[in-house]
Amino acid sequence: MITLNVNGKPMSVDADPDTPLLWVLRDHLGMTGTKYGCGMALCGACTVHVSGQPARSCSTSLAAVAGKRITTIEGIGQTKEGRVLQEAWIANDVPQCGYCQSGQIMSAAALLAKVKRPTDAEIESAMSGNVCRCGTYNRISLAVRQASRNLK
């Protein structure tokens, strides 16, 4: 049994320590908001926060996050960055197929938690690890800027 804290709740998991956090969340804890896109830290669909830092959960083992504080898309709305981002995402109808968007919002939330008013270049560098095959990038950067302005 390995324990971790997910969205403020302590949870214990009976899985091999080498299991990626992504599959722990999805298959063992039944939290499916975090998505699988590549399994190789190339697309960002699986982005979560580990101790406040963005991490690709497909390439982060359970052992590495034992006892750590994890935030996922299911919990990010409880933070002020997550809330303004989700509002901006909806206001601008950012999602198309939507499959990449959990990861996009998690990367954006990590950015805004660190830099309240990011420059365009900072947005670009924080978000370029997240692939969107539907091509919602321009709306994503618009929504991040709008969320940043709404962040008190």
Partner 1 sequence: MNEFGIINLSRRDFLKAGAGLTLGVTVPSLAQMPGQGGRSVVAAGALEPNAFVRIGTDNTVTVIVKHLEMGQGTYTGLPTLVAEELDADWGQIRVEGAPADASRYNNLFLGALQGTGGSTALANSYEQMRKAGAAARAMLLAAAAERWNVAPDSITIARGAVMHLPSNRRTNFGQLAASAAKLPVPKEVQLKDPKDFALIGRRVTRTDSRAKSNGTAIYTQDVKLPGMLTALVAHPPRFGGKPKSFDAAKAKAVKGVVDVVAIPQGVAVLAHDFWSAKKGRDALAVEWDESGAFKLGSAEIMAEYKNLAATPGLPARKEGDLPGAFARAAKTLEAAYEFPYLAHACMEPMNCVVKLSADACEIWNGEQFQSIDQPEVAAVLGMKPEQVKLNMLFAGGSFGRRANPHADYLVEAVQIAKGIDGRAPVKLVWTREDDMRAGHYRPMYYHALKAGLDAQGNIVAWQHRIVGQSILAGTAFEGMMVKDGIDATSVEGAANLPYAVPNLGVELHSPKMGVPVQWWRSVGSTHTAFSTETFLDELAAAAGKDPYQVRRTLLAKSPRHKTVLEMAATEADWTTPLVSARVGDRRGRGIAVHESFNTVVAQVAEVTVKRDGSYRVDRVMCAVDCGLAVNPDVVRAQMESGIVYGLTAAMYGAITLKDGVVEQSNFHDYMPLRMNEMPRIGVYIARSSEKPTGVGEPATPVIAPAVANALFAATGKPIRSLPIRIQT
The answer to whether 45 contacts ligand FES (rule: CB under 6 A) is: yes
14-43 residues near partner 1, rule: CB under 8 A:
15-16, 19-20, 23, 26-28, 30-40, 42-43
Decide whether 62 or 117 has the Cβ nearer to ligand FES: 62
Task: Mention every residue, 6+ apart, whose C-beta is less than 8 A from residue 109.
Answer: 49, 76, 79, 81, 82, 85
Using the contact rule CB under 6 A, the part of the chain among 6-14, 63-71, 79-87, 129-137 near ligand FES is: 129-137
* Beta carbon nearer to partner 1, 46 or 50: 46
HSE-up of residue 105 (Cα within 13 Å, Cβ side) = 30
Q: What residues numbered 69-108 form the site for ligand FES, per CB under 6 A?
A: 95-101
- CA 1 vs. chain centroid, Å, equals 25
Question: What one-character DSSP code corresponds to residue 47?
Answer: E
From the list ligand FES, partner 1, none, pick the one residue 151 interacts with, judged by a Cβ distance below 5 to 8 Å according to partner type.
none
Q: Could you give the residue ranges of the DSSP H alpha helices within 59-136?
A: 73-76, 80-91, 101-114, 120-127
Query: Which CB sits closer to ligand FES, 113 or 132?
Result: 132
Q: Which long-range contacts (CB under 8 A, 24 or more apart) does 113-119 make?
A: 113/52, 113/79, 113/81, 116/148, 116/151, 117/148, 118/144, 118/148
Question: Among residues 47, 57, 130, 148, which is the contact residue for partner 1, using CB under 8 A?
Answer: 130
* Chain residues that interact with ligand FES, rule: CB under 6 A: 36-39, 41-46, 56, 58, 95-101, 132-134, 136
